[in-house]
Structure 1
Amino acid sequence: MNLFRIVYVSRAAGSVADGLLPLIDIIGVSDRNNRRDHLTGALLRHEGYFIQAIEGARVDLDRLMARLRQDRRHDGLRILSERAVEQRRFGDWAMVRLDAPPAATTFLEQHLDAPDAGARAEALLIEASRSMAVAP
């Protein structure tokens, strides 16, 4: 199977911007749907933004992105990077919520519109995911 990874940012809307229960609901539903669709990924919410990486087959990612564009819990969805990858970076999780590392604020304030925003966002998600690594 050819794998792709999409990294996007969007602005959280309503209670999802800072409420814990709406975020837990998103993670639960996403985990279930992503398992069904063989997608993996990580979601970080910080200062009213979502930063997410999602991986899988192109057709499954396209269906997910169509649903996400219609989802009223966020707006301003902007794809930062979209590329073929050889292996999953977030393969341990159908969907995991990550805590924002200190660099998240700097990314949102200074690098969101940079030409390399996709690579920076992916690095941010990788950094945040290190605390979630499963011990052997």
Structure 2
Amino acid sequence: MSLFRIVYVSDAVGDAGAGLLPLIDIIGASDRNNRRDHVTGVLMRHDNQFFQAIEGARVDLDRLMGRLRADRRHMNIRVLADARIEHRLFADWAMAQVDAPPALGRLLSGMPAEPMAKTQVERILSDTSRTMASAS
């Protein structure tokens, strides 16, 4: 089975942008749905924006992106990367939530040109994966 990773950023709507309880609800529902669909990933929130990487089979990721586009807690979804991958960075996490590293804030505030953004996104995800692995 081929694996893919989609990385997107979206504007968080209402309490989802800053409230703790909406974030807990999102993580709980995402964890259940992702386990069912064999999707893994990580979610970060920074300045009323979501940054998320999701990994899995193409059909499962496409279905999830459809649900996200219909979710009223998200607006203006921008896909930063969508590529075939050799292995999952977040294999142990149906849906992890981590604090946004400073590099994410810099990326989101500037949103650089496409090639540079992809390099920065990859670095943020790799660093986050290593940090999560060492913490477990």
Q: Same fold (TM over 0.5)?
A: yes
**Which runs of no fewer than 5 residues in structure 1 stay unpaired?**
none
1:115 is the counterpart of 2:114: yes
| Distance verdict in 2 for CA 1:18–1:60, change over 3 Å | same
Contact kept in structure 2, 1:100 and 1:128, CA below 8 Å = no
Match of 1:84 in 2: 84
CA distance in 1, matches of 2:25, 2:135: 27
| Distance verdict in 2 for CA 1:135–1:17, change over 3 Å | closer
TM-score, length-normalised on structure 1? Answer: 0.92
Deviation at 1:114, TM superposition (A): 1.8
RMSD: 1.5
* Correspondence 1:10-21 to 2 at 5 A: 10-21=10-21
Q: Which one has a larger percent helix, Structure 1 or Structure 2?
A: 2
SS at match of 1:133: helix
Deviates more, 1:84-93 or 1:123-132: 123-132
Deviation at 1:129, TM superposition (A): 3.7
CA distance in 2, matches of 1:36, 1:118: 29
**Which runs of no fewer than 5 residues in structure 2 stay unpaired?**
none
CA distance in 2, matches of 1:106, 1:135: 24
| Distance verdict in 2 for CA 1:20–1:81, change over 3 Å | same
Identical positions, percent:
60
Match of 1:132 in 2: 132
**Aligned AA for 1:95?**
M
CA distance in 2, matches of 1:43, 1:56: 15
Contact kept in structure 1, 2:89 and 2:129, CA below 8 Å = no
Deviates more, 1:123-132 or 1:46-55: 123-132
SS at match of 2:114: coil
* Correspondence 1:26-45 to 2 at 5 A: 26-45=26-45
1:102 is the counterpart of 2:102: yes
Deviation at 1:92, TM superposition (A): 1.1
1:56 is the counterpart of 2:52: no
TM-score, length-normalised on structure 2? Answer: 0.92
